Structure 1
Amino acid sequence: MPAVPAGNYYQQGQGPSCWDRVKLGFMMGFSVGMATGALFGGFTALRYGLRGRELLNNVGKVMIQSGGTFGTFMSIGAGIRC
Structure 2
Amino acid sequence: MPVPGGYYQQGPSCFDRVKTGFMLGFCIGMASGAIFGGFSALRYGARGRELVNTVGKVMLQGGGTFGTFMAIGTGIRC
User: Normalising by structure 2, what TM-score?
Assistant: 0.90
1:40 maps to what in 2? 36
Q: CA deviation at 1:14?
A: 1.2
How do residues 41-80 of structure 1 correspond to structure 2 at under 5 angstroms?
A: 41-80=37-76
Percent of paired sites with the same residue: 75
Deviates more, 1:12-21 or 1:40-49: 12-21
Q: CA deviation at 1:12?
A: 2.5
Structure 2: tracts of 5 or more residues without a match: 1-6
Q: How many residues align?
A: 72
User: Normalising by structure 1, what TM-score?
Assistant: 0.85
Tell me the secondary structure at the aligned position of residue 69 of structure 2. helix
Say whether residues 1:30 and 2:30 are aligned partners. Answer: no
Aligned-residue RMSD, C-alpha: 1.0
Tell me the secondary structure at the aligned position of residue 8 of structure 2. coil
Structure 1: tracts of 5 or more residues without a match: 1-10
Counterparts of 1:65 and 1:25, CA distance in 2: 17
Residue type at the aligned position of 2:23: M
Tell me the secondary structure at the aligned position of residue 49 of structure 1. coil
| Equivalent in 16, 22, 26 of residue 12 of structure 2 | 16
